[in-house]
Protein backbone atom coordinates (compact mmCIF):
# COMPACT_ATOMS: atom_id res chain seq x y z
CA UNK A 1 0.00 0.00 0.00
CA UNK A 2 1.10 3.55 -0.70
CA UNK A 3 2.25 5.72 2.20
CA UNK A 4 -0.71 7.77 3.33
CA UNK A 5 0.96 11.02 2.33
CA UNK A 6 1.10 9.73 -1.26
CA UNK A 7 -2.58 8.84 -1.41
CA UNK A 8 -4.56 11.19 -3.67
CA UNK A 9 -7.93 9.63 -4.52
CA UNK A 10 -10.25 8.80 -1.62
CA UNK A 11 -13.56 7.27 -2.68
CA UNK A 12 -16.63 5.84 -1.00
CA UNK A 13 -18.96 2.90 -0.82
CA UNK A 14 -21.84 5.02 0.47
CA UNK A 15 -25.05 3.04 0.84
CA UNK A 16 -27.10 6.16 0.08
CA UNK A 17 -25.78 6.00 -3.50
CA UNK A 18 -25.72 2.25 -4.18
CA UNK A 19 -29.15 2.10 -5.87
CA UNK A 20 -29.40 -1.65 -5.43
CA UNK A 21 -25.79 -2.42 -6.29
CA UNK A 22 -23.82 -4.69 -3.97
CA UNK A 23 -21.24 -2.87 -1.79
CA UNK A 24 -18.53 -5.34 -2.74
CA UNK A 25 -19.22 -4.82 -6.45
CA UNK A 26 -18.77 -1.07 -6.08
CA UNK A 27 -15.65 -1.61 -3.96
CA UNK A 28 -14.11 -3.71 -6.73
CA UNK A 29 -14.92 -1.05 -9.32
CA UNK A 30 -13.39 1.66 -7.14
CA UNK A 31 -10.24 -0.42 -6.78
CA UNK A 32 -10.14 -1.05 -10.53
CA UNK A 33 -10.43 2.68 -11.11
CA UNK A 34 -7.39 3.58 -9.05
CA UNK A 35 -8.69 4.54 -5.61
CA UNK A 36 -6.11 4.85 -2.86
CA UNK A 37 -8.58 4.72 0.03
CA UNK A 38 -12.21 3.57 0.14
CA UNK A 39 -14.56 4.50 2.94
CA UNK A 40 -17.56 2.37 3.83
CA UNK A 41 -20.26 4.80 4.93
CA UNK A 42 -23.67 3.41 5.84
CA UNK A 43 -25.47 5.96 7.99
CA UNK A 44 -28.81 4.13 7.99
CA UNK A 45 -27.46 0.63 8.54
CA UNK A 46 -27.11 -1.25 11.80
CA UNK A 47 -23.66 -2.14 13.18
CA UNK A 48 -24.27 -5.78 12.26
CA UNK A 49 -25.12 -4.82 8.69
CA UNK A 50 -22.05 -2.59 8.45
CA UNK A 51 -19.88 -5.39 9.77
CA UNK A 52 -21.18 -7.79 7.14
CA UNK A 53 -20.59 -5.25 4.37
CA UNK A 54 -17.08 -4.55 5.63
CA UNK A 55 -16.28 -8.27 5.80
CA UNK A 56 -17.26 -8.60 2.14
CA UNK A 57 -15.19 -5.57 1.09
CA UNK A 58 -11.96 -6.22 3.03
CA UNK A 59 -10.68 -9.10 0.83
CA UNK A 60 -11.20 -6.91 -2.23
CA UNK A 61 -9.34 -3.89 -0.90
CA UNK A 62 -6.49 -5.92 0.57
CA UNK A 63 -6.01 -7.77 -2.70
CA UNK A 64 -5.82 -4.43 -4.52
CA UNK A 65 -3.51 -2.78 -1.98
CA UNK A 66 -6.16 -0.18 -1.14
CA UNK A 67 -6.83 1.04 2.39
CA UNK A 68 -10.32 0.52 3.77
CA UNK A 69 -11.87 3.14 6.03
CA UNK A 70 -14.91 2.27 8.15
CA UNK A 71 -17.02 5.27 9.06
CA UNK A 72 -18.09 5.75 12.69
CA UNK A 73 -17.17 2.34 14.15
CA UNK A 74 -13.56 1.71 15.28
CA UNK A 75 -14.52 -1.64 16.79
CA UNK A 76 -15.91 -2.87 13.47
CA UNK A 77 -12.88 -1.55 11.60
CA UNK A 78 -10.60 -3.53 13.88
CA UNK A 79 -12.75 -6.64 13.80
CA UNK A 80 -12.69 -6.90 10.00
CA UNK A 81 -9.08 -5.79 9.60
CA UNK A 82 -9.68 -2.36 8.04
CA UNK A 83 -6.78 0.06 8.21
CA UNK A 84 -8.76 3.17 9.21
CA UNK A 85 -11.80 4.47 11.01
CA UNK A 86 -13.18 7.92 10.18
CA UNK A 87 -14.99 10.01 12.76
CA UNK A 88 -16.70 13.38 12.76
CA UNK A 89 -15.76 16.09 15.22
CA UNK A 90 -18.87 15.38 17.26
CA UNK A 91 -18.27 11.62 17.24
CA UNK A 92 -14.78 12.12 18.61
CA UNK A 93 -14.59 15.23 20.77
CA UNK A 94 -18.20 15.32 21.95
CA UNK A 95 -17.77 11.71 23.03
CA UNK A 96 -15.06 12.89 25.43
CA UNK A 97 -11.97 11.81 23.48
CA UNK A 98 -8.92 14.02 23.53
CA UNK A 99 -6.35 12.02 21.55
CA UNK A 100 -6.65 9.33 18.92
CA UNK A 101 -4.43 7.02 20.97
CA UNK A 102 -7.53 6.39 23.05
CA UNK A 103 -9.04 4.59 20.05
CA UNK A 104 -5.93 2.90 18.70
CA UNK A 105 -7.03 -0.70 18.66
CA UNK A 106 -4.22 -3.12 17.96
CA UNK A 107 -4.62 -5.75 15.29
CA UNK A 108 -4.01 -8.33 17.99
CA UNK A 109 -7.04 -7.28 20.02
CA UNK A 110 -8.85 -10.49 21.01
CA UNK A 111 -12.24 -8.79 21.06
CA UNK A 112 -13.09 -5.80 18.90
CA UNK A 113 -15.62 -4.71 21.47
CA UNK A 114 -12.83 -4.02 23.96
CA UNK A 115 -10.62 -1.01 23.30
CA UNK A 116 -7.05 -1.85 24.17
CA UNK A 117 -4.30 0.53 25.31
CA UNK A 118 -2.25 1.91 22.45
CA UNK A 119 0.93 -0.08 21.90
CA UNK A 120 3.26 1.41 19.33
CA UNK A 121 5.01 -1.94 18.81
CA UNK A 122 1.98 -3.58 17.19
CA UNK A 123 -0.06 -2.71 14.09
CA UNK A 124 -2.94 -0.42 14.96
CA UNK A 125 -6.06 1.12 13.59
CA UNK A 126 -5.52 4.61 12.24
CA UNK A 127 -8.00 7.43 12.76
CA UNK A 128 -9.18 10.15 10.39
CA UNK A 129 -11.16 13.14 11.60
CA UNK A 130 -13.45 15.58 9.81
CA UNK A 131 -12.92 19.34 10.01
CA UNK A 132 -15.02 22.27 8.84
CA UNK A 133 -12.93 25.23 9.97
CA UNK A 134 -9.28 26.04 10.78
CA UNK A 135 -9.82 25.70 14.52
CA UNK A 136 -11.31 22.23 14.02
CA UNK A 137 -8.38 21.22 11.82
CA UNK A 138 -5.94 22.40 14.45
CA UNK A 139 -7.83 20.56 17.15
CA UNK A 140 -7.80 17.35 15.08
CA UNK A 141 -4.07 17.66 14.43
CA UNK A 142 -3.37 18.22 18.12
CA UNK A 143 -5.45 15.13 18.85
CA UNK A 144 -3.09 13.08 16.69
CA UNK A 145 -5.37 12.41 13.71
CA UNK A 146 -3.62 10.35 11.05
CA UNK A 147 -5.36 12.44 8.41
CA UNK A 148 -8.07 15.10 8.31
CA UNK A 149 -10.89 15.82 5.88
CA UNK A 150 -11.34 19.46 4.88
CA UNK A 151 -14.82 20.44 3.82
CA UNK A 152 -17.44 20.45 2.55
CA UNK A 153 -15.80 22.63 -0.08
CA UNK A 154 -19.06 22.93 -2.03
CA UNK A 155 -22.68 22.23 -1.14
CA UNK A 156 -23.31 18.49 -1.21
CA UNK A 157 -26.21 16.14 -0.80
CA UNK A 158 -24.12 13.91 1.44
CA UNK A 159 -24.11 16.66 4.07
CA UNK A 160 -27.45 18.47 3.64
CA UNK A 161 -27.64 21.70 5.55
CA UNK A 162 -23.88 21.94 6.05
CA UNK A 163 -22.59 25.32 4.92
CA UNK A 164 -19.78 25.02 2.36
CA UNK A 165 -16.36 26.00 3.66
CA UNK A 166 -15.38 27.26 0.17
CA UNK A 167 -11.94 27.23 -1.41
CA UNK A 168 -10.70 29.64 1.24
CA UNK A 169 -10.48 26.81 3.74
CA UNK A 170 -8.68 24.65 1.19
CA UNK A 171 -6.13 27.42 0.72
CA UNK A 172 -5.72 27.73 4.47
CA UNK A 173 -5.14 23.97 4.79
CA UNK A 174 -2.58 24.01 1.99
CA UNK A 175 -0.59 26.63 3.87
CA UNK A 176 -1.01 25.38 7.41
CA UNK A 177 -1.70 21.64 7.59
CA UNK A 178 1.34 19.38 7.50
CA UNK A 179 -0.50 16.12 8.24
CA UNK A 180 -2.15 14.28 5.33
CA UNK A 181 -5.48 15.88 4.40
CA UNK A 182 -8.17 15.51 1.79
CA UNK A 183 -10.58 18.09 0.39
CA UNK A 184 -14.17 16.82 0.42
CA UNK A 185 -17.65 17.97 -0.51
CA UNK A 186 -19.25 18.45 -3.91
CA UNK A 187 -16.02 17.84 -5.83
CA UNK A 188 -16.51 16.84 -9.46
CA UNK A 189 -14.56 16.94 -12.71
CA UNK A 190 -15.87 20.43 -13.48
CA UNK A 191 -14.56 22.06 -10.30
CA UNK A 192 -11.58 19.79 -9.66
CA UNK A 193 -9.11 22.18 -11.29
CA UNK A 194 -10.16 24.93 -8.88
CA UNK A 195 -9.79 22.63 -5.87
CA UNK A 196 -6.33 21.54 -6.96
CA UNK A 197 -5.30 25.11 -7.76
CA UNK A 198 -6.29 26.04 -4.20
CA UNK A 199 -3.68 23.60 -2.98
CA UNK A 200 -5.43 20.27 -2.40
CA UNK A 201 -3.18 17.31 -2.98
CA UNK A 202 -5.78 14.68 -2.14
CA UNK A 203 -9.52 14.67 -2.71
CA UNK A 204 -12.56 12.73 -1.53
CA UNK A 205 -15.20 12.05 -4.16
CA UNK A 206 -18.62 10.55 -3.47
CA UNK A 207 -21.55 11.28 -5.78
CA UNK A 208 -19.55 12.26 -8.86
CA UNK A 209 -18.22 8.72 -8.97
CA UNK A 210 -21.04 6.68 -7.45
CA UNK A 211 -23.67 8.26 -9.71
CA UNK A 212 -21.66 7.42 -12.83
CA UNK A 213 -22.76 4.55 -15.05
CA UNK A 214 -19.13 3.43 -15.22
CA UNK A 215 -17.76 3.72 -11.67
CA UNK A 216 -14.29 2.46 -12.54
CA UNK A 217 -14.13 4.77 -15.55
CA UNK A 218 -15.18 7.76 -13.46
CA UNK A 219 -12.44 6.93 -10.97
CA UNK A 220 -9.87 6.79 -13.74
CA UNK A 221 -10.82 10.27 -14.96
CA UNK A 222 -10.20 11.71 -11.49
CA UNK A 223 -6.99 9.69 -11.19
CA UNK A 224 -5.72 10.97 -14.53
CA UNK A 225 -6.42 14.57 -13.57
CA UNK A 226 -4.68 14.17 -10.21
CA UNK A 227 -1.64 12.57 -11.80
CA UNK A 228 -1.40 15.16 -14.56
CA UNK A 229 -1.36 17.95 -11.99
CA UNK A 230 1.19 16.13 -9.82
CA UNK A 231 3.50 15.56 -12.79
CA UNK A 232 3.00 18.98 -14.32
pLDDT at 75 over 80: yes
User: What distances in angstroms separate CA 138 from CA 22, 131, 142, 155, one per listed residue?
Assistant: 37, 9, 6, 23
Look at the pTM and tell me if it is higher than 0.85: yes
Q: What is the DSSP string of 39-66?
A: EEE-TTS-HHHHHHHHHHHHHHHHHHT-
The tens digit of pLDDT for each residue in 21-53 reads: 999 999 999 999 999 999 999 999 999 999 999
Mean pLDDT of 135-150: 97
Residue 157 pLDDT class (50, 70, 90 cuts): confident
Which one is predicted more confidently, 110 or 203?
203
Please name which of 168, 134, 162, 163 lies closest in space to residue 148, comparing C-alpha atoms.
Answer: 134
- Residues 13 and 30 sit within 8 Å (Cβ to Cβ): yes
Residue 123 pLDDT class (50, 70, 90 cuts): low
Residue 230 pLDDT class (50, 70, 90 cuts): confident
Residue 114 pLDDT class (50, 70, 90 cuts): very low
Mean pLDDT of 144-154: 97
The tens digit of pLDDT for each residue in 93-110 reads: 999 999 999 887 554 444
- Measured CA to CA, the distance from residue 144 to residue 138 in angstroms comes to 10
The tens digit of pLDDT for each residue in 180-198 reads: 999 999 999 999 999 999 9
pLDDT value of position 105: 59
pLDDT at 20 over 50: yes
Domains observed in the chain: 4-231 (3.20.20.70)
pLDDT at 3 over 60: yes
Average confidence score pLDDT of the chain: 91
Amino acid sequence: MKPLENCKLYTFVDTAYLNGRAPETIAQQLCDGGSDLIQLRAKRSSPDEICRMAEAIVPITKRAGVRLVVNDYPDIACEVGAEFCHLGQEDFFDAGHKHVRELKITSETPSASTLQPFNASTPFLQIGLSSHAPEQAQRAIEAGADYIAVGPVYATGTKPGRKPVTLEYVRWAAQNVKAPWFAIGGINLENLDDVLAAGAGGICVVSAILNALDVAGACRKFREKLESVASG
